[in-house]
Structure 1
Amino acid sequence: MTDTFPVLDLRDAAGPAETRTGFLHRLREAVHEIGFFQLVGHGVEDTEDMLELSRRFFALPEPDRLALNILDSPLFRGYSELGREHTRGVPDQRRQLDIGPEQPARRFGPGDPAYQCLIGPNRWPSAMPELRPAIESWIARLTELSHRLLRLILESLEAPAGFLDDVVDPDPQIHLKLLHYPGPARTGGDDGSGQGTGAHNDLGLLTLLVQDGHGGLQVAVEDGRFIDVPVIPGAFVVNLGELLEVATRGYVRATQHRVVRPAPGVDRYSIPFFYNPRLDATMQPLPGPYVERAGGVIDVAGNPLFALYGDNVMKGVIRSFPENVARHHPDLAAAAEPRSS
């Protein structure tokens, strides 16, 4: 593969047989060799509008944003100030709004699986009523796009395209973030780590990211170096999650990545969309020659992989939001241990 981050045009998947075959070949190379690619021709035309909407949200007066304070949410939804979310124990230098599936409120009881504490409604800013319908439309379209892309990935691996339909239908556990990375006010004005978001792997199936022109996303390559992902206006940066790596016995890569904090005085905005299995879904190995010949998932110290998505996502939640866990779910860490079945 000549390009570190290949650019794939989704329109090729609907082209003549030879064009479609070439697309699937490049897709298989991308998910196997680097775990990242850029997607164009996807038909989602309002990425710049969504980034502008995100800028307007973060420009709201601070009291309007803090009315959605994530510390007040046992569902881990709402607004986070700088440093609220952690990666590997280090505060991330970004502001964010976390949004999940819009579902009715329910009581989380002591006998429930830990992941059920994530089920419920979102929190929306009363000062910006146009945000909710725009984001809900975006989520619906990106959910459809993600499902189509997942089926194409399976087809590229010569597995049945619908093999994972049962783990996402009828209600995939989607997650969307509006992110604002403000540069420090002056040189040396941060903690010295330069961490916008610390190095991590995503937890589920697919991530689709739209980023503004400032860049900052970096991906770990084979020799452990991090390299910059180029900015392509209107493209989605696509990467794979740990559960897809599990389902392919390590053939598909959930590659470590991070975001470097912008330079002083620079504001970076991005919107990641995470497409995941149902919380109660367990991943099974895919059939097919590429998966069957794969060597298996390589365990990383301190990062156990759980086939049940609810267990895997709680691993991330507990690490990322320690203050929320302490305030609303003091017994959550123990409750989130994987269950035998």
Structure 2
Amino acid sequence: MNPDSADVLPVFDIGSVLGKHPESYSAEDFALCKGVAECLHQTGCLIVHDPRVPADMNDQFLDLLERYFGQPTERKLEDCRPSLDYQVGATPPGTEVPRCVVDAALQEQLRRLQAGNQATTPTGADAKWRFMWRVGPRPAHTAFPELNAEPVVPKAFPEWRAVMDGWGAALLGAATAVAGLAAVGLGLQPAALQELMCGGPHLLAPTGSDLDVNSRTGGVLAGYHYDLNLLTVHGRSRFPGLYVWLRDGRRVAVRIPAGCLLMQAGKQLEWLTGGHIRAGMHEVVVTEATLAAADAARAAGRSTWRVSSTVFTHCCSDALLRPLGRFGEQAAAQQQPQQQQPQQQQQQEAVGGAAGEAAGSYPAMKAGEQVQRELEAICLRKVGADATNVSCPGSGGNSGANSGCSSGSGSGKGEGLGVGSSRAGNGVSSSGSGLAGPHTTATGVAVAGNR
């Protein structure tokens, strides 16, 4: 049986540093920063307790989204915006393709997973709905208008904007605080990551999966993938099914302790650290525990829609994405000898060495371009689609969380897909991790929900 996240990951309580400037940090505060950075390096994820994020707000959010996803399909299709690459509004099932279906490197990664830690290999598009809701102010001018578009407000939900804004701001505030701690722990300028986040196309992006339809054990709701953004924040779901892979290759079931959040590194954080932190791989599948939770909900007269509670935080679309600080210096130092020794470079790249990646896989480009390329790969954006530099109406309004860089909060049946399940091969190496320390709190607590 796979371990779960509450057993193998420490909990980082960030309450003691909220409102403090790094210049006033104590030795314990710096230990917290180091712990956050090291945990992201070793595992790609971490569990955080932020006292500003109330659990009842998560419940209110889940109640709303269960009602939304429980609507008839034709009503939800009115909220789809394919012309905007589905970056606002609803995305129907059968649209988003897991990157591992089309990416040879990820397919090889799947084959190398050790016995007992394999992914449930998807064969097609994800069997999930999603809704994208913008969080935080957008830039007044941008070369990437489709990533910064006005939100879609569904009909028949007068409380929609208030609930979505409130929960999105809370999760964005937590992620922005963690970004500041991680920057200090990584030896970067304290505001290096937070400044890049200001004006980013942050999204509250819940998924919805109908467990009355998707009721086969091993069914893939969201196939093995990484997230394309900076940091992903997960609140608790009412149904299990999310699995993450630690950097040492272990597959871990997600169990988020009460009052806590799970955060995962995305591709942009990997980019900014030159591969020192890797984007975390994860999947959502139907398990026996998922179906048991659905049976219990059904018996109690509650919704059987599995809703994720997720915020994708981003770098500003027009900001330059490249390895920062010492990671950029390392990449520059490695570039010259690798040019002189192409055979050595090929060997490093073949085994996924950080040196080879830092020199060649993280070129300077605008964050919006990186996002567009990723969206094309997973079939949410038409290949070759163009965007022009325009003004975004209503782009800086909105109030929100005090998150360190004045980023605020911006504002049914029959759709299951039959996705086959098969098992991959073996062989990834593992490395130890000593994550527990004085900054951690106990994780062995009773938990009722998962992402």
TM-score by length of 1: 0.79
User: Partner residue of 2:33?
Assistant: 24
Tell me which protein shows more strand as a share of its residues: 1
- Residue 142 of structure 1 pairs with residue 171 of structure 2: yes
Q: CA deviation at 1:75?
A: 5.6
Structural mapping, 1:1-341, within 5 Å = 4-14=8-18, 17-45=26-54, 46-71=57-82, 76-88=87-99, 89=101, 90-100=124-134, 115-169=144-198, 171-183=199-211, 185=213, 188=216, 194-222=219-247, 224-261=249-286, 263-264=290-291, 265=294, 267-288=305-326, 292=330, 296=354, 299=357, 307-322=365-380, 325=382, 331-332=384-385
Q: CA deviation at 1:222?
A: 4.2
Structure 1, residues 39-71: CA drift from partner, whole Å, max 9, x if none? 113411122221222212222344432221344
Q: CA deviation at 1:17?
A: 2.4
Residues 13, 24 of structure 1: 8 Å contact kept = no
Secondary structure, aligned partner of 1:79: strand
Letter in 2 for 1:214: F
Secondary structure, aligned partner of 2:309: strand
Q: Quick one: distance in 1 between partners of 2:262 and 2:207?
A: 15
Q: Quick one: distance in 2 between partners of 1:153 and 1:176?
A: 22
Q: 1:225 to 1:164 in 2, by over 3 A?
A: closer
Q: CA deviation at 1:248?
A: 1.4
Secondary structure, aligned partner of 1:27: helix
Q: 1:257 to 1:314 in 2, by over 3 A?
A: same
Residues 134, 201 of structure 2: 8 Å contact kept = yes
Q: CA deviation at 1:103?
A: 7.7
Residues 219, 226 of structure 1: 8 Å contact kept = yes
Q: 1:180 to 1:22 in 2, by over 3 A?
A: same
- Segments of 5+ residues of structure 2 without an aligned counterpart are 1-5, 102-123, 295-303, 335-352, 388-451
Q: Quick one: distance in 1 between partners of 2:384 and 2:214?
A: 41
| Larger RCO of the pair (alpha carbons < 8 Å, separation 6+) | 2
Residues 280, 308 of structure 1: 8 Å contact kept = yes
Q: 1:182 to 1:306 in 2, by over 3 A?
A: farther
Fraction of identical pairs, as percent:
22
Name the Cα RMSD after superposition: 3.5
Residues 172, 275 of structure 1: 8 Å contact kept = yes
Residues 95, 181 of structure 1: 8 Å contact kept = yes
Letter in 2 for 1:143: L
Residues 221, 285 of structure 2: 8 Å contact kept = yes
User: Partner residue of 2:423?
Assistant: none
Q: 1:9 to 1:285 in 2, by over 3 A?
A: same
Secondary structure, aligned partner of 1:230: coil
Q: Quick one: distance in 1 between partners of 2:214 and 2:268?
A: 40
Letter in 2 for 1:31: L
Q: 1:158 to 1:186 in 2, by over 3 A?
A: closer
Secondary structure, aligned partner of 1:37: strand
Structure 1, residues 191-217: CA drift from partner, whole Å, max 9, x if none? x86211111111221111113232211
Q: Quick one: distance in 2 between partners of 1:279 and 1:290?
A: 20
Residues 322, 364 of structure 2: 8 Å contact kept = no
Residues 146, 206 of structure 1: 8 Å contact kept = yes
Q: Quick one: distance in 2 between partners of 1:308 and 1:213?
A: 37
Aligned length: 317
Residues 100, 122 of structure 1: 8 Å contact kept = yes
Q: Quick one: distance in 2 between partners of 1:35 and 1:3?
A: 16
Q: 1:291 to 1:129 in 2, by over 3 A?
A: farther
* Rg comparison, structure with higher value: 2
Q: CA deviation at 1:278?
A: 0.9
Letter in 1 for 2:309: I
TM-score by length of 2: 0.61
Q: 1:305 to 1:78 in 2, by over 3 A?
A: farther
